[in-house]
Homo-oligomer: A and B are copies of this chain.
């Protein structure tokens, strides 16, 4: 029998409900896996085994006392990217500037995790300030390769079954890219569904919370739990959270799928392009190819203007007071952002709304549109976290995006298949992703 740490969250919850597993045993199994693999993988920024076990015992007690009803993640360990404030573990944002920083309160989504009965397993490694400069994490499939970033530790920890679930953020490609490289499900729901209070603010027009798991259903379950149903926040709108009942029931009819190569298709390697084009022929359903409107080709420049301008404002104190502790690459980005004028910024914001409008019209009528997640599988080396180029358009538009670990790229490495949909269509997207998870595409290996 496989160790409990390899269970999906859904499986573990069912076993706990049947009294065939307790949270402490799950946590012990996760800690054993961490013990064994952490030296090579380096997924964790902060981890307290005693604290995790204490939370697990509390969850078990709640369950035994009948207090766990309605706690949809009771007893499940979750890795939390080290840019989400946690009141019981440091939050260092991937920078020595914040060394030892201990927040007094939880980020709103961390509060919601605890309210759902989840265990905060620990804080996962993030690239420096959630941008590019890598942390210590390696790719579990090949330690000489990047896990991707910036949610590096969250993707890697889930990939090697240190935890069944983890949370991260995406401003450009920080969920979808590491999910593709590490071979896990990465899901960034519609922007504005999840509250960002208590999370490092990089570029608020673009920053979006996302999740990692090994199965589509688990990601849906986690995002559902992270949705604040009690109220809206200054940065949220009433998007619909995943409809778990629809996912439980499975899908009768195959989803309506399309392929979108997008303007950056030539950036994908020949192997990636072939993996997608061949993969979709094995699905046994018609897949129409859609051509995005020309304006979508301007997304990368538009996104860069907005991201750098907002980052320069929000990270200015790092630049100004902690110059020597910030990577040269990030300093250069902040300088580039600092030079952007208001008119250029507002022009980009206007363009972003136009791109969103045009892209959503193109995506309409499909349950999911397939597109690469990354140009290649995880590149060699740990100095870079790879390219977010296949995520930029979708992050800019705030549309839901999910990377499925269904393809194989160069060197037999995992390669994500990305599926996107118009804003608000998360449930249909997840249902389509779940269908793909079951139906294929057939791996050619």
Residues of A within 8 A of B (CB): 192, 197, 201, 204, 231-235, 237-240, 309-310, 313-314, 316, 340-343, 345-347, 349-350, 352-358, 360-361, 364, 422-424
The 7 closest A-B pairs by CB, nearest first: A234-B357, A234-B353, A237-B237, A234-B356, A313-B346, A342-B342, A313-B343
Most buried by B among A342, A350, A352, A364: A342
Counting every copy of the chain, the complex holds 2
Q: Cα distance A360–B237 when bound, in Å?
A: 13
Residues of B within 8 A of A361 (CB): 231
A199 to chain B, nearest CB (A): 13
B423 in contact with A232 (CB, 8 Å): yes
A88 to chain B, nearest CB (A): 24
Can you report 8 residue pairs joining A to B where beta carbons are below 8 Å apart?
A234-B353, A234-B357, A234-B358, A238-B239, A238-B240, A309-B342, A313-B343, A340-B342
A190 to chain B, nearest CB (A): 9
Could you list 10 further interchain pairs (A-B, Cβ under 8 angstroms) beyond the known A237-B423, A309-B346?
A: A231-B360, A231-B361, A232-B423, A237-B239, A238-B239, A238-B424, A309-B342, A313-B346, A341-B341, A342-B342
Residues of B within 8 A of A235 (CB): 353, 357
B232 in contact with A424 (CB, 8 Å): yes
A147 to chain B, nearest CB (A): 31
Residues of B within 8 A of A240 (CB): 238
Q: Cα distance A141–B424 when bound, in Å?
A: 46
Q: Cα distance A364–B361 when bound, in Å?
A: 35
Residues of B within 8 A of A354 (CB): 234
Nearest B residue to A351 by beta-carbon distance? B234
Residues of B within 8 A of A234 (CB): 352-358, 360
Partner of A313, one of B342, B353, B424: B342
A238-B238, A355-B234 known; A316 vs B343 contact (CB < 8 Å): yes
